[in-house]
């Protein structure tokens, strides 16, 4: 297997398991497969990312502001962190990336089009592999603790979010993996998808 850099993103509705599986995947690739791995997440650890974590709990921040800040955070995240690691030969795994912005911000306001979000994110690099973890909204919400809930997390909203993730995944050719199973089984499917990608990389 070639050891070339690869940029992987795990995404999906809140509670789909993107954080759990990004961590498991990073450990698998690093300790079992001996790759250099950099695990990261969005919002990022930058000051903009920290501000976003606060704003995600605040009902008074409009989705347009969230969209602008997410784009700024991602621009910084890509150029100062992700790209540097890829250039150093790492596999980079990001727990959420542009797809989360496209879905979550566009769905909250008729004024926010997917095209506008893409324009805001015009200068970022794109993942080599995006995996969407799919789960029913009800199950996802049941997995989250009350204190972890963000302003837009309720079942009817998450149903819309899930449908948009699925339709965009088909349109963009993302891999869809059901996360409605025992964690280890879901992780195995993710690992297989990543290993297939690594094996076919030229």
Residue 187: closest CA among 119, 131, 109, 139: 131
The SS3 of residue 8 is strand
The SS3 of residue 131 is strand
Q: How far is the CB of 82 from ligand ADP (least distance, A)?
A: 19
Residues near Mg ion (CB under 5 A), total = 1
Using CB under 6 A, pick the residue from 6, 8, 14, 86 that binds ligand ADP: 14
Query: Helix 98-108 and helix 63-77: axis angle, to 10°?
Result: 170
CB nearer Mg ion, residue 19 or residue 65: 19
Segment 126-165, which members bind ligand ADP (CB under 6 A)?
Answer: 143-144
The SS3 of residue 106 is helix
Point out which span in 2-10, 19-27, 152-160, 169-177 binds Mg ion (CB under 5 A). Answer: 19-27
Residues near ligand ADP (CB under 6 A), total = 13
d(CA 60, CA 80): 30
Using CB under 5 A, pick the residue from 2, 6, 8, 19 that binds Mg ion: 19
Point out which span in 11-19, 70-78, 84-92, 142-150 binds Mg ion (CB under 5 A). Answer: 11-19
Residue 121 touching ligand ADP (CB under 6 A):
no
Using CB under 6 A, pick the residue from 15, 43, 49, 127 that binds ligand ADP: 15
For 104, counting Cβ atoms within 10 Å of its Cβ (0-12 exposed, 13-18 middle, 19+ buried), the class is buried
* Under 8 Å between Cβ of 97 and 127: yes
Residues that bind ligand ADP (CB under 6 A): 14-20, 143-144, 179, 181, 183, 186
């Amino acid at each position: 297997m070639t050891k070339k850099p690869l940029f992987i993103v795990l995404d999906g509705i809140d509670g789909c398991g993107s954080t759990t599986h990004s961590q498991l995947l990073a450990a698998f690739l690093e300790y079992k497969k001996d790759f250099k791995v950099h695990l990261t997440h969005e919002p990022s650890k930058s000051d903009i990312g920290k501000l976003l974590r606060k704003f995600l709990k605040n009902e008074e921040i409009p989705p347009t502001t969230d969209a602008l800040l997410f784009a700024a955070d991602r621009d910084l995240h890509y150029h100062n962190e992700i790209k540097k690691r890829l250039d150093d030969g790492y596999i980079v795994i990001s727990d959420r990336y542009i797809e989360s912005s496209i879905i979550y911000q566009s769905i909250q306001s008729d004024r926010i089009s997917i095209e506008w979000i893409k324009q805001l994110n015009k200068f970022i690099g794109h993942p080599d592999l995006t995996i969407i973890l799919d789960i029913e909204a009800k199950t996802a919400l049941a997995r989250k603790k009350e204190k972890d809930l963000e302003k837009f997390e309720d079942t009817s909203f998450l149903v819309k979010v899930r449908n948009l993730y699925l339709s965009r995944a088909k349109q963009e050719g993302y891999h869809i993996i059901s996360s409605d199973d025992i964690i280890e089984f879901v992780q195995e499917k993710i690992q297989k998808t990543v290993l297939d990608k690594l094996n076919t990389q030229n």
